[in-house]
Structure 1
Amino acid sequence: MKNNERVFYTRDEVKQITDAYQHIFGPIGAELRDYWDLDRKREWGCLTTDFHNASFEQYQEASKHAIEIETTVSDPVQRGLALRDITRKTGVGLSLGVCPWTDHGLFQTYGQNTHRQQLTIILGHDWYPIVPRRAKKPHPVDVPLSRYAGLRGLTKYINVGAVPAAIMDKSEVLLFLNFKPDFRPPNEPVKGPFEPYDRCTQGFNALVEAASREFKVQVISWGANVWQLLSKQVPEIRKPVGVCVHARTNEGFGRPLELRCGQRTVPYLPLAHPCDRRNFNEHHAAHAHEGFLKMGLGGRGSWAGTL
């Protein structure tokens, strides 16, 4: 089904995605529930959905109202508030699970790889503002049932070498996440200060522990801000340096680290954010390629034109 160039997940596809979430994470404990703000206690914690309890009809209702708001409410702040109200009234967030890119990554990679019992987390900073500040054309609103191209459609990041080959050829389960799972407030720029809430780190650790029950988990992070926080959980890093400086050292180049997440320790490759070619330059791309190879991900990926 299409509407205004959007493609929507079918009922069977939604079940496929929510079943994947349920298998990966199992029962949602208190720390993880708080991390995803499933009880809507934080101001803009309205992106995620309790995938154990949401129905297709709830996703349908929220999607219908989100599209209505997109066409009738032009003021960005009022549009953001109206979108948030939808999530409080319908009982679902503006994605099927964690965020639209997580949904799509699982849709494309989960079914054919469950037997391998391994997944890779690609970890960014945070999601976009619920209504980003735009001088001209407004950014499309997030709609739970809308099927976005996700990470595999982001040719800019793929072309610089930030996405592993195994993700591009769909031979590895992709769990794309943001360290802070909430929206930014409406009418703010997409880029700006990163402000995780107090227990973001504990929440992410709980997520890794939950996924590690059934899967061998490894983590790739994008950006200096997430590295600064997670480096505190890398035992061999006594005095953290910048993520680019780390990649230029003999000890750091192309070598995954060990990241301690609660009771679990998982392979971890910190990278610069691929949006900035000054940091994610050819040397850093070579660092990423070597790290991907050591993680069993086939080195850097390339875009074959299929989503």
Structure 2
Amino acid sequence: MTLNQQQYSSDQVTQILHAYRSIFPTITADLENYWGLQRERPWSYVTTNFHSATFEKLQALQERAWEIDNLSLTQEARGIALRDAALKMDVGYSIGISPWTDNLLARTYSDSKDSVVILLGHDWYPIVTGDSPSGTPLKSSDSLHTVERYWPGAPEAVMDGTTVGLFINLYPDYRPPGDSKCGNLNKYGYSYEECLIGLDALVAAVLKRFSQVHLISWGANVWRALLKRLPEFRNSTTLLSAAVQASPGKVLRIELGGRELQYLPLMHPGHWGNFGQACHLRHVKAGYAALRLGLPGLDNSKVKRVRKAREIVIV
């Protein structure tokens, strides 16, 4: 799919909805709860029920979000107005799971492909962040591919569409209006343990569609949340010392969705002070190679950190 414009067309929305419906032909009770589709959690409005969504509903919410942005509202009032609009239109601020998920499926999904890489991030931004424009469900430029500094956190096979890429945030909801963009989420009343139940349900569904499923996680918060599934590292203090310095490039095994997956934990690519350490870049490059997913990012990038990640020598 060519994605040169700033907004998805009706045909592109149809293709993205088809991808979601093919991977998740039914939304189980655990998935419905995980994605907050009953809207019982205060800010569970990133997601959309892609089995009932239509282009017209998504377009109506987008237009209403633009109108709300032009009102003189406090951050809290703007967040509430955006939430009320999503309730009224019966869709959220993505076509399915999140804007990055939408875009990556648009670029990589095909019915003929039988392998998928799950990129597991931590969470989405607050529903309102200062004076920035609100997220809108049809905004096609909200994507991994438009944020080159994150490219080292994704292997070439995902970036070029050789394999399907499924971007997932462990915590599926927005943060409250005006909240910080980083840090753990223990204060929001939806625990990491509950998130893991949802992640299990998601992976179980993905395993029914694809015969080869790999997991790549971003950041220390996700690593700590997954430690319960990694008894050999349970007493480790940091990702860098536990899974990187001890054995660079080692692919771990983790049980999710009732099966063992190959799992490569990474530091968060947005925090280059950690991600860009030489020992970690060797871990990234060697790990992608072990999974047969190519080099970090894309060869056409001129961003220094992408070049460094691709060119580092594995000792």
Whether these two folds match at TM > 0.5 is yes
Q: Report 1:105-116 matches (<5 A).
A: 105-111=104-110, 114-116=111-113
Shift of 1:149: 4.3
1:142 aligns with 2:135: yes
Q: Which residue of 1 aligns with 2:41?
A: 42
Is contact 2:202–2:257 with CA below 8 Å preserved after alignment? Answer: no
Would you say 1:172 and 2:171 are equivalent positions?
no
Separation (CA, whole Å) in 2 of partners of 1:73 and 1:297? 48
Specify the SS of the correspondent of 1:219: strand
1:235, 1:188 → 2: CA distance? 33
Post-superposition shift, 1:193?
A: 3.4
Instruction: Determine if contact 2:37/2:48 at 8 Å carries over to the other structure.
Output: yes
Which residues in structure 2 correspond to 1:245-264 (within 5 Å)?
Answer: 245-250=241-246, 252-264=247-259
> Equivalent residue for 2:58?
59
Match of 2:217 in 1: 221
8 Å Cα contact 1:6-1:146 kept in structure 2: no
Alpha-carbon distance change, 192 to 233 in structure 1, aligned in 2, over 3 angstroms: closer
Which one of the candidate residues 119, 123, 137 is aligned to 2:120?
123
Residue 254 to residue 203, structure 1, CA distance change in 2 (3 Å) = same
Choose from 272, 279, 290 the match for 1:277. Answer: 272
Instruction: Return 5+ residue gaps in structure 2 as ranges.
Output: 303-315
Q: Which whole-Å CA distance do the structure 1 matches of 2:161 and 2:142 have between them?
A: 14
Q: CA deviation at 1:191?
A: 2.2
Q: Among residues 209, 212, 219, which one is paired with 2:207 in the alignment?
A: 212
Alpha-carbon spacing, 1:61–1:67, altered in 2? closer, same or farther (3 Å) = same
Output the CA distance in 2 between the equivalents of 1:193 and 1:179.
11
Letter of the 2:144 counterpart: L
Q: Distance in 1 between the 2:101 and 2:66 partners?
A: 21
The 8 Å contact of residues 214 and 262 in structure 2, kept in 1 or not, is answered as yes
- 8 Å CA contact 1:124–1:223 kept in 2: the answer is yes
Given the alignment of the two structures, is residue 193 of structure 1 paired with residue 184 of structure 2, yes or no? yes
CA distance in 2 between counterparts of 1:73 and 1:16 reads 36
CA contact (8 A) 2:199 2:257 kept: no
Length, aligned pairs only: 293
TM-score scaled by structure 2?
A: 0.88
Secondary structure (helix, strand or coil) at the match of 1:213 reads helix
What amino acid is the match of 2:215?
Answer: V
Higher helix share: 2
CA shift digits 1:244-284 (9 cap, x unpaired): 1123444x310111110141211111111122222111220
CA distance in 2, matches of 1:83, 1:6: 24
Instruction: Name the SS for the 1:20 alignment partner.
Output: helix
Runs of 5+ consecutive residues of structure 1 not aligned to the other structure = none
Cα pair 1:155 1:303 within 8 Å, conserved = no
Write out the 4+ residue segments of structure 1 that deviate beyond 3 Å after TM superposition: 235-238, 247-250
Match of 2:7 in 1: 8
Aligned residues with identical type, % of pairs: 40
Matched, 1:297 2:293: yes
